[in-house]
C-alpha cells in the first residue's frame, strides 16, 4: 500500500499550476499525497488559497497570512483581510509569516511587526502558525522565545527548516514542529541531513514548498506535491525507519498540529 503523506506547504495558487492544477492534484493522490496545505503569502493569495481549499475540500486546506518579503508592498487593508479570513472554515493555520534577511524587500522592523501580529492572531483564534525563517535564525528564535515567555507555547512549524542544530533544539524546546523540504536531498546539504536525523519522529513534518526547490531526483523541474515522497524517503533513511513508518508519524503530526481529521 502507498504510504499516506501530507504536503504541509504548497503554493498551489501559483500561476505555474494554472494550466494543469487538476492533473497535479491527481498525481499527488496517486503518489499517496492525499492532503495538501496551500500556503498564502499575501492578502490576495490568502483569498485564492481559501478558494482552492473550498473547491477541492477532500484534498486541500488553506492558510492565510502575509509572508515577510511581501509585507512592504501590502495594501492598507491587507491585514484586515487576513484577520477576516482567519475564521473561515477552510483555514487551518496562519502564515506564512516570519523573518527574512536574505531578501531586502521589507524593512526588518516591519517584518517583526507583522510576525508579532500573526503570533497574536494565532493565539486569539487558537490556530497554528507557519513560520518562514531565512538567514534570520537568531532574530526568529528571539521573537518566538519572547512570545513564549510571555504567553506560553504557540502551536507552529518552522517550515522548510534549514537552520543549525542549536536552532532546531531551541525550536523543539518551545514545542514547535520542524518541516523539511527538497533541500534535504541536495548533495551539499549534509549539515542539514545531520540536523534532520536528530529531530524526534513526533516533531517532523514534510513539505514541497512547490513550485520551488524540487527534491533529487527531480531537481530542476517545477516542484509539485507528488514529489514530497522523495523528501520523505530521504528523511526515513536519516531516521533509520522505513517509509511507511515515517509517513505514519509525519501524517499524524500534521493532523495534530493543523487539527485535520
Ligand atoms: Zn512557502
Range of the domain at 35: 5-258
- With cut-offs at 50, 70 and 90, classify the pLDDT of residue 241: very high
Q: How many domains does the chain have?
A: 1
pTM, to two decimals: 0.97
- With cut-offs at 50, 70 and 90, classify the pLDDT of residue 30: very high
What are the grid coordinates assigned to 181, written together?
A: 523540504
130 beta partners: 157
Ligand 1 centroid from CA 244, angstroms:
26
Ligand 1 centroid from CA 39, angstroms:
6
Looking at residue 261, its pLDDT comes to: 77
Ligand 1 centroid from CA 96, angstroms:
7
3-state secondary structure string, 10-67? ECCCCHHHCCCHHHHHHHHHHCCEEEEEECCCCHHHHHHHHHHHHHCCCCEEEEECCC
Looking at residue 1, its pLDDT comes to: 65
Whether residue 2 has pLDDT greater than 80: no
Ligand 1 centroid from CA 30, angstroms:
23
CATH of the domain at 213: 3.20.20.140
CA distances from 42 to 45, 74, 204 (A): 5, 7, 26
- 210-219 pLDDT, tens digit each: 999 999 999 9
Ligand 1 centroid from CA 11, angstroms:
6
Amino acid at each position: 500500500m502507498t504510504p499516506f503523506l501530507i504536503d504541509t506547504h504548497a503554493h498551489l495558487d501559483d500561476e505555474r499550476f494554472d494550466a494543469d492544477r487538476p492533473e497535479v492534484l491527481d498525481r499527488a493522490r496517486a503518489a499517496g499525497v492525499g492532503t495538501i496545505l496551500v500556503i498564502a503569502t499575501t492578502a490576495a493569495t490568502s483569498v485564492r488559497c481559501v478558494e482552492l481549499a473550498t473547491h477541492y475540500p477532500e484534498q486541500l486546506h488553506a492558510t492565510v497570512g502575509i509572508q515577510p518579503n511581501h509585507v512592504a508592498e501590502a495594501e492598507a487593508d491587507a491585514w484586515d483581510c487576513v484577520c477576516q479570513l482567519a475564521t473561515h472554515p477552510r483555514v487551518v493555520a496562519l502564515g506564512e509569516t516570519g523573518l527574512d534577511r536574505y531578501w531586502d524587500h521589507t524593512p526588518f522592523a516591519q517584518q517583526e511587526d507583522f510576525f508579532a501580529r500573526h503570533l497574536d492572531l494565532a493565539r486569539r483564534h487558537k490556530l497554528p502558525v507557519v513560520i518562514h525563517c531565512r538567514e534570520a535564525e537568531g532574530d526568529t528564535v528571539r521573537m518566538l522565545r519572547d512570545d513564549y515567555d510571555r504567553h506560553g507555547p504557540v502551536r507552529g512549524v518552522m517550515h522548510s527548516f534549514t537552520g543549525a542544530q542549536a536552532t532546531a533544539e531551541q525550536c523543539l524546546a518551545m514545542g514547535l514542529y520542524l518541516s523539511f523540504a527538497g533541500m534535504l536531498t541536495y548533495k551539499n546539504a549534509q549539515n542539514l541531513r545531520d540536523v534532520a536525523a536528530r529531530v524526534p519522529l513526533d516533531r517532523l513534518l514534510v513539505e514541497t514548498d512547490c513550485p520551488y526547490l524540487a527534491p533529487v531526483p527531480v531537481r530542476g523541474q517545477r516542484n509539485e506535491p507528488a514529489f514530497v515522497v522523495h523528501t520523505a524517503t530521504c528523511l526515513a533513511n536519516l531516521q533509520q525507519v522505513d517509509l511507511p513508518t515515517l509517513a505514519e508519524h509525519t501524517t499524524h503530526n500534521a493532523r495534530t498540529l493543523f487539527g485535520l481529521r
